Amino acid sequence: MQRILLVDDEPAICEALRERFAREGFAVSTAASGAAALDLLLGRGQPPLAADCLVLDLMLPDLDGFEVLRQVRQAGADLPVILLTARTDDVDKIVGLELGADDYVVKPFNPRELVARVRVLMRRLAEVRSLRAALAGESPPPGPDAESGGALQIDRASRSVRFRGRPLELRPREFDLLALLAAHPGQVFTRELLLDRVWGQDKFFDARTVDVHIRRLREKLAAIDPAANLIQTERGIGYRLQP
C-alpha cells in the first residue's frame, strides 16, 4: 500500500483528506507542523517514514512549506510533492516549483482532484525510475501502485492482476473490489461498506451485488488454484482477504 504524508495544521482538512485517501486505498500519515514533517521524513530520532508522496501546506505554524520542501530536496528525497495553499500569487507558485515541488493546488479544492493528481505524479515517477533502470541495464522496480500479497500481485496503474504467476482477467468492478480487499489484508469489510467503496453513490445496486462479484472472483481464483481460499466469509458480517 502506498503511503501519503499529509502536512497541514488544520484538523478538518487533515481528517477529510485522510478519509478520502484511505477510501482510495492509500495509507496516510499526518503532521501538523513543518518540524514534525521533517522529523518523520528525515528520520530525526526515529527510522525515516517511507512516504511515497508528500502533500504539503505552505502556511504552517513553525517552518513554512517552502523551507520544509527545501530541506527535503536538499536531503536527496525524490518523492513527489504537492503544495497546498490558500494564496493565489503566481510568485509563490514559481518559488515552490523552483524549490522542487511537482504540483500546486489552491484551497479550496476538490479532494478527488487531489487524489487524481497524486496518482498521476506517482505514475510519472515510476516511469522515470523504470527508464533510468532500463538505461542502466537493471530490472525496473515495481510500479508505485503495485501490491503483492504472496501469490496475488496487483498493479493499480495498469489495473492488472496475476495469481500464482498467471494473469487474472477481471471486469472493472471485480478489479476494484479485489484491490480494495487486498489493500487491507485480514480486515473484515461489511457488504454495505464494500458497496459504498466500490459502487459509490450508484443506488441501482444493493448488497447482493457484492455477493455476486465475490462469487465471480472466487471462481476465477479457483480456476487457477482450486484450493485457493483468499477471500473468506465472516459469517453475518462480510468478507476479508487473507493472503
Q: 174-230: per-residue pLDDT in tens?
A: 898 999 999 888 889 999 889 888 877 555 567 788 898 999 899 999 999 998 899
Q: Is-contact 88 117, C-beta < 8 A?
A: no
> Going by C-beta distance under 8 Å and a sequence separation of 6 or more, which residues neighbour residue 87?
58, 59, 106
- pTM (2 decimals)? 0.56
Q: Which CATH number fits domain 146-241: 1.10.10.10, 3.40.50.1820, 3.40.50.800, 3.40.1190.20?
A: 1.10.10.10
Question: Tens digit of pLDDT for each residue in 28-81?
Answer: 999 999 999 999 998 876 778 888 899 999 999 899 999 999 999 888 887 889
Integer angstrom CA distances of residue 159 from 38, 103, 104, 145, 238: 34, 25, 27, 9, 24
Separation between Cα atoms, residue 55 and residue 8, nearest integer Å? 8
Domain positions in the chain are 3-130, 146-241
Is residue 24 scored above 80 in pLDDT?
yes
Instruction: Give me the sheet containing 3-7, strands edge to edge.
Output: 27-31, 3-7, 53-57, 81-85, 103-106
Rounded CA separation 75/53 (Å) = 15
| Confidence band, pLDDT 50/70/90 cuts, at residue 144 | very low
Tell me the C-alpha distance between 50 and 27, whole Å. Answer: 11
Residue 176 Cα distances to 37, 80, 234, angstroms: 32, 25, 20
Domain 3-130 CATH (choose: 3.40.640.10, 3.90.1820.10, 3.30.365.10, 3.40.50.2300): 3.40.50.2300
Residue tagged 510500479 (cell numbers): 143
pLDDT of residue 181: 93
In this prediction, what percent of the chain has a pLDDT beyond 70?
A: 86
Return d(Cα 186, Cα 215) in angstroms, integer. Answer: 18
What are the Cα distances from residue 44, in Å, to 57, 81, 155?
A: 21, 20, 33
